[in-house]
Amino acid sequence: NAGVMQNPRHLVRRRGQEARLRCSPMKGHSHVYWYRQLPEEGLKFMVYLQKENIIDESGMPKERFSAEFPKEGPSILRIQQVVRGDSAAYFCASSPRQGADTGELFFGEGSRLTVL
Amino acid sequence: LAKTTQPISMDSYEGQEVNITCSHNNIATNDYITWYQQFPSQGPRFIIQGYKTKVTNEVASLFIPADRKSSTLSLPRVSLSDTAVYYCLVGLTDSWGKLQFGAGTQVVVTP
């Protein structure tokens, strides 16, 4: 059973370009969470999605950031017109249901975005 | 959401026991306590979760006093590979994915 898969692992963009980060949850998991981690900081919640639904996007910046989790295919975090401050590691996590009994989230290896 | 406070860093030698205490004075009645481990350039990994008293698994033990205002993660006989950042999270089981990770505790194990 493959774990949470994120790609690309590393992405370099110039200011003003778009970044697309993909996350395939573990098999059987229908809940996906995106986090951002700045250097030397903890993870900050961005958005929680279920298939075809955004459940909670309270951690998402109001502009330039969007996320989706279509019926088919991976979840995508999209950052438009990137700025240097968007440089960070973006982690995706999945769970089989909201509040898995053990409280366990399964994280991917992360996608590291560098904006030049 | 309950705020947590934990030491910024801890140093240890191989074979020693490491105890990391997390303070969560405003923990709510239904909140659970969960610890994650993160290695450099990797995503966090679940270690252990508890509600009260003591929980033990193959990796660690979690001690929670009766007032639940703090908890201690105990790593027995650490090895070099236990060098990582350890995060304490407190919250409801139906909102795990929305919890904020703090800065965590950087544990460095040396020979």
pLDDT tens for each residue of B44-93:
999 999 999 999 999 999 999 999 999 999 999 999 999 999 999 888 66
Tokens 């060098």 belong to B83
pLDDT at B97: 61
Nearest to B100 among A44, A101, A112 (CB): A44
Q: Is the pLDDT of residue A111 over 80?
A: yes
Do B11 and B110 meet the contact criterion of CB atoms below 8 Å apart?
yes
pLDDT at A95: 85
Which residue has better confidence, A2 or A51? A51
Percent of chain B residues past pLDDT 70, beyond the cut: 91
Nearest CA in chain B to A107: B43
pLDDT at A92: 95
For residue B88, which residues of chain A lie inside 8 Å, CB to CB? none
Query: Rounded to whole angstroms, how far apart are CA atoms A55 and A33?
Result: 10
Q: Is the dihedral of CA A60, A66, A67, A71 positive or negative?
A: positive
The token duo for B54 is 């003591």
pLDDT at A96: 78
Query: Rounded to whole angstroms, how far apart are CA atoms A77 and A90?
Result: 9
Query: Rounded to whole angstroms, how far apart are CA atoms A56 and A60?
Result: 9
| A48 contacts B97? CB cut-off 8 A | yes
Q: Specify the DSSP class assigned to residue A73.
A: S
The DSSP bridge partners found for residue A6 are A23
CB neighbours (10 Å) of residue A59? 17
Query: Rounded to whole angstroms, how far apart are CA atoms B32 and A36?
Result: 23
Query: Rounded to whole angstroms, how far apart are CA atoms B61 and A46?
Result: 30
Query: How far away is chain B from the Cα of A77, in angstroms, using its nearest Cα?
Result: 16
Do A112 and A89 meet the contact criterion of CB atoms below 8 Å apart?
yes
Reported as a single tens digit per residue, the pLDDT across A56-98 is 898 999 999 999 999 999 999 999 999 999 999 999 999 876 5
